[in-house]
Amino acid sequence: MCCSLAHPCKLNMTWLILTLSCIILWGITDILLKKSLDYSDSLSQYKTFIWIGLVAVPTCVVMALCSDTLPDSIKTVAENPYLISVNLFYVAAMFFGLLGAKYLDASVVSPLENTDGAITAIILYLFFFLTGRSHITEGIGAIDVVGTVLITMGVILLGIQEQKLSKQEISIEEDKKKHRLGALALLFPIAYNLADAVSMVATGIMVSGEAEVSLPEIDYIFFECFAFFVVGILVWLYMLIAKKYVYNPFKKTEFTRLGAASCETLGTMSFTIAVGINPILTAPITSSYCLVTIILARILLKERLTKKQYLSLAFLVVGIALLGVSEIINV
Give the confidence band of 11 by pLDDT, cuts at 50, 70, 90.
very low
More confident: 29 or 190:
29
**In this structure, is residue 3 part of a structural domain?**
no
- Report whether pLDDT(202) > 70: yes
Question: 170-179, 186-195, 313-322: which range is least confident on average?
Answer: 170-179
Q: How many domains does the chain have?
A: 1
The pLDDT of residue 75 is: 92
pTM: 0.72
Angle at 91 between CA 89 and CA 94, to 5 degrees: 110
Over residues 107-132, the mean pLDDT reads: 66
For the stretch 228-263, pLDDT in tens is 899 899 999 999 999 899 999 888 888 889 999 999
For the stretch 262-316, pLDDT in tens is 999 999 999 988 888 887 778 778 877 877 887 887 777 666 667 777 787 788 7
**In this structure, is residue 35 part of a structural domain?**
yes
Q: Give residue 246's domain range.
A: 14-330
**In this structure, is residue 83 part of a structural domain?**
yes
Measured distance CA(110)–CA(313) in Å, rounded: 13
Contact at 8 Å (CB) between 188 and 33? Answer: no
- Report whether pLDDT(138) > 70: no
- How many helices (H) and strands (E) the chain has is answered by 14, 0
DSSP string covering 111-156: HHHTTHHHHHHHHHHHHHHHTT-HHHHTT--HHHHHHHHHHHHHHH
Over residues 127-140, the mean pLDDT reads: 65
The pLDDT of residue 6 is: 44
State which H helix or E strand residue 23 sits in: helix 14-36
**In this structure, is residue 49 part of a structural domain?**
yes
More confident: 181 or 86:
86
**In this structure, is residue 4 part of a structural domain?**
no
**In this structure, is residue 105 part of a structural domain?**
yes
Q: Which of 290, 287, 283 is nearest to 31 (CA)?
A: 290
Mean model confidence pLDDT for the chain: 76
The pLDDT of residue 65 is: 94
**In this structure, is residue 230 part of a structural domain?**
yes
Over residues 9-33, the mean pLDDT reads: 82
- Report whether pLDDT(169) > 60: no
Question: 90-99, 154-163, 170-179: which range is least confident on average?
Answer: 170-179
**In this structure, is residue 1 part of a structural domain?**
no
